[in-house]
Copies of this chain bind each other. A is one copy, B any other.
Amino acid sequence: MNLAIHELFQKSRFLTNEINYTLKKHNLYASQWSVLYCIKKHGEMSLTQIWKYLNVEAPTITRTVYRLVELGWIDIHPGKDRREKIVKLSAKALEDFPEIQASMVEFEERVVTNLTPQEQSLLHQLLQKII
């Protein structure tokens, strides 16, 4: 396997594990946070808006959203189009959000400590050139 591609997979798994570790004290997993973050950013969203934004398949979002409802992070209600489900952050989520976000900002800064802003930008450009 191409060295760069191999390293990409290694770092992806490593970073996922690190994010899960960072979020552990908030009782959240990486994918759950990505959904919460996305909803916070956009306000109310339909499930379809979420999976299109996050670029994953619909069933992944169905599952994660219902888990977040179960855990009390998200409120869900039908839209005026009766096929769709609309989702928003719960009061608890809105309250806890800043602290969790602070943990994540700290994590993200740590992760790229060894890269200058120019290198980060270059890395982004090189990744975009894949396929």
Contacts and interface: CB of A to CB of B under 8 A. Distances in A.
Interface of A: 1-5, 7-16, 18, 37, 55-56, 108, 110-115, 119-124, 126-131
Given A12-B8, A12-B9, A114 B130 contact: yes
Contacts of A37: 1
B108 A129 contact: no
A120 B1 contact: no
Contact of A126 (B9, B10, B119): B119
- How many copies make up the complex? 2
Contacts of A10: 55
A11 B111 CA distance: 18
Contact of A130 (B9, B16, B115, B131): B115
A9 B15 contact: yes
Contact of A7 (B2, B13, B14, B124): B124
A64 to B, nearest CB: 15
A121 B7 CA distance: 11
A124 B3 contact: yes
A124 to B, nearest CB: 4
Contacts of A120: 2-4
A111 B15 contact: no
